Amino acid sequence: MQIVVTLDCVDTEAQANFWLAALAPLDYRRGFHGPPYLSLVGRAPAPTLLLHQVPEPKQGKNRMHLDLDFGTADLISEAHRLERLGAERLSEEMSEHGFRWIVLADPEGNEFCVFDPPS
């Protein structure tokens, strides 16, 4: 079984460049590319990120989002790294039930979190 997460976007190339840089610590690379799709593939068991080109920009809050655990407790530094790549920080660090996270958005406004799970 393989998990594929599909992300609608207006500019697949720009989004691919952002997500490849954002996911660099997880060793992602370009995979299949055939308009309107472009895939980003990580090492198993990592899910594939499938970028799907659509004509309209994102509207409203995501009903589902990615939580990215980069294996560091320093969420502030990770958020700064992602902001330098083009992400926008949408929250300060939050915590609940031992989880800590920061909400960000990619360059097209899709929300995601960097998080540190309880040990």
69-110 per-position pLDDT tens digit: 999 999 999 999 999 999 999 999 999 999 999 999 999 999
Residue 116 pLDDT class (50, 70, 90 cuts): very high
Contact (CB, 8 A) for 78 and 63: no
7-35 per-position pLDDT tens digit: 999 999 999 999 999 999 889 999 988 99
Sheet containing strand 37-41, edge to edge, reads: 4-9, 48-53, 37-41, 29-34
Most confident of 31-40, 53-62, 83-92: 83-92
| pLDDT score for 33 | 87
Q: What is the DSSP string of 48-87?
A: EEEEEE-SSPP-S--SS-EEE--S-S-HHHHHHHHHHHT-
Residue written as token pair 């660090």: 93
| pLDDT score for 119 | 83
pTM above 0.85, yes or no: yes
Class of domain 1-54: alpha beta
Q: Which one of 3.40.640.10, 3.40.50.150, 3.30.720.110, 3.90.1150.10 gives the CATH number of domain 65-119?
A: 3.30.720.110
Torsion of CA 53, 56, 58, 59, to 10 degrees: -150
Contact (CB, 8 A) for 48 and 42: yes
Domain boundaries, the chain: 1-54, 65-119
Burial of 17 from C-beta contacts in 10 A (0-12 / 13-18 / 19+): middle
Give 3-state DSSP helix, strand, coil % of the chain, rounded to 5: 20, 35, 40
